[in-house]
Amino acid sequence: MLQATLARRQGGFELEVELEVEAGRTLVLVGESGSGKTTLLRLLAGLATPKQGRIELGGETWFDSAGGLQLPASGRSLGYVTQDYALFPHLTVQQNVAFGLRAQGLGASLSRERARESLAQLGVEELAPRRPADLSGGQQQRVALARALVLEPRLLLLDEPLSALDLQTRRTIRAELRRILTTRSCVTVYVTHSPLEAMAFGEQIAVMESGRITQIGSRDDLLRHPRSRYVAEFMGVNLFQGRIVSRDATGMARVKTVEGELSVVDPGGEAEVYVAVNPREIALFLEPPTGSAQNLFSGPVTELLPEPPNGERVRVSLGTHPPLVAEVTRQAVGALGLREGLLVHAAFKATGITTYR
């Protein structure tokens, strides 16, 4: 198990993080560039020094500011695959993978054997005699991973391991990576800026914003109960923070947010709540509807954005109060004649909203 409490200040940037990851599990760290993800990895790796805190891995203390203990990177059982892989250009693939073994004094032939095995596990054994410069991005990625895994690290740090790859390769390697990691008993911290990748990868996802982890949970947690605008935008849901201002006998409540009021199913309890509205629950009309939707807002269309993969669904940003993002089909866009600036009416039922504290 990895337990880390870290604080560091550099220039105007402050990082303050607390982490706990079970052995054999993967924590996906997701956040914008500049949010401190790589800094956090470097602190865990021992390539940078925290101002204060503690890093413990499976009962072994790697860093303790109180006790003045700092294990250098070379003394930690870790694998660190950086964004650019940093394969040694003067060594062959096999020598690259054997590097860590040789550095620890393992014999040449045994190291070679183990390096071959590690390369074979990643399906790139035939690359052994080649130089890094002759490899494609995907091949370099696998070699870098083989080089890290051959040392059987207890902590595996992966910094945007797929970002340098084309989309096709990315999907293949992601699946492979997941398969490999499930067979390992090490703690993995996987950094990405892509929510999609986080979702695809993580059982446990931590969201990082300007040096802090603002939410940590399962992907369902994050999808259903985002706790910041940033996370919500990541997950593509409308999020509002507000307080319940009135309740009625039918179990409904009114929530007042900074931007406007919403009707929700009364969650009971305290007044401060988050309200998440799934964009697919929002219906759009040219004339005010007469149905049973309890929430009705009017405003102009501000942006139309076809969703991947094929634009079958379109995200429609609305200049309503509160501002909403709806997701409708391409057919609906055509039928309604949606375009930027067109005044529309957005409706969604109270039951289509998730309200939580």
Q: How far is the CB of 113 from another protein (least distance, A)?
A: 18
- CA–CA distance, 201 with 27 (Å, rounded to integer): 9
Interaction between residue 132 and another protein (CB under 8 A): yes
**Closer of 79 and 352 to another protein (Cβ):** 79
293 contacts 284 by C-beta, under 8 angstroms: no
Residues 232-271 that bind another protein (CB under 8 A): none
Q: How far is the CB of 127 from another protein (least distance, A)?
A: 14
State how far the alpha carbon of 212 is from the alpha carbons of 35, 64, 209, 215, 272, in Å: 8, 20, 5, 9, 23
* Residue 32: partners with Cβ closer than 8 Å, 6 or more residues away: 193, 209, 230
**Closer of 153 and 279 to another protein (Cβ):** 153
What are residue 14's DSSP bridge partners?
9
Element (H, E) at 41: helix 37-45
**Closer of 59 and 72 to another protein (Cβ):** 72
**Closer of 146 and 314 to another protein (Cβ):** 146
For another protein (CB under 8 A), the number of binding residues is: 34
- CA–CA distance, 179 with 354 (Å, rounded to integer): 34
**Closer of 36 and 100 to another protein (Cβ):** 100
Q: How far is the CB of 140 from another protein (least distance, A)?
A: 5
Count of helix runs (H) and strand runs (E) in the chain? 9, 21
Q: How far is the CB of 92 from another protein (least distance, A)?
A: 10
169 contacts 137 by C-beta, under 8 angstroms: yes
Residues 36-65 that bind another protein (CB under 8 A): 45-47
226 contacts 215 by C-beta, under 8 angstroms: yes
**Closer of 97 and 275 to another protein (Cβ):** 97
* Residue 305: partners with Cβ closer than 8 Å, 6 or more residues away: 314, 315, 316, 317
**Closer of 161 and 226 to another protein (Cβ):** 161
Interaction between residue 286 and another protein (CB under 8 A): no
Interaction between residue 167 and another protein (CB under 8 A): no
Residues 134-153 that bind another protein (CB under 8 A): 137, 140-141, 147-148, 151
Among 131, 184, 224, 321, binds another protein (CB under 8 A): 131
Q: Would you give the binding string for another protein spanning residues 66-105, x where CB under 8 A is met? A: ------xxxxx-xxx-x-xxxxxxx--------xx-xxx-
- CA–CA distance, 285 with 346 (Å, rounded to integer): 6
Q: What angle do CA 64, 65, 68 make, to 5 degrees?
A: 85
Q: How far is the CB of 188 from another protein (least distance, A)?
A: 15
Q: Which residues bind another protein (CB under 8 A)?
A: 45-47, 72-76, 78-80, 82, 84-90, 99-100, 102-104, 131-133, 137, 140-141, 147-148, 151, 164
